[in-house]
Amino acid sequence: MGKQPPRHRKQWTREDVRRLRGMAGGNTPTRVIGVHLGRAEPAIRQKAHEENISLKPTNQSPYDRRKEK
């Protein structure tokens, strides 16, 4: 088993949620958010789901939208 993140099983603070929301809005990858918040990637995904925070990148075009030559 790997090493546990520093905040493993700790309560989420309002500041943690605020930082999660800000990083998710800035298209930060989930793994990087986890490192910054000291939490595992599944914990980041779960909390984002609970708080209704989208982790989908906003700067990507939809599939099959390339112009054909």
Mean pLDDT, consecutive 10-residue stretches, the chain (69 aa), reads 79 96 92 94 96 83 60
Q: What is the number of structural domains in the chain?
A: 1
pLDDT for res 62: 58
Range of the domain at 29: 14-50
- Determine, yes or no, domain membership for 28: yes
Distance CA 25, CA 58 (A): 8
pLDDT at position 33: 95
pLDDT at 4: 83
CA dist., res. 23 & res. 32, Å (int):
9
pTM of this structure? 0.77
Q: Where are the alpha helices (DSSP H) in 9-64?
A: 14-25, 30-37, 41-50
Residue 59 within any structural domain of the chain: no
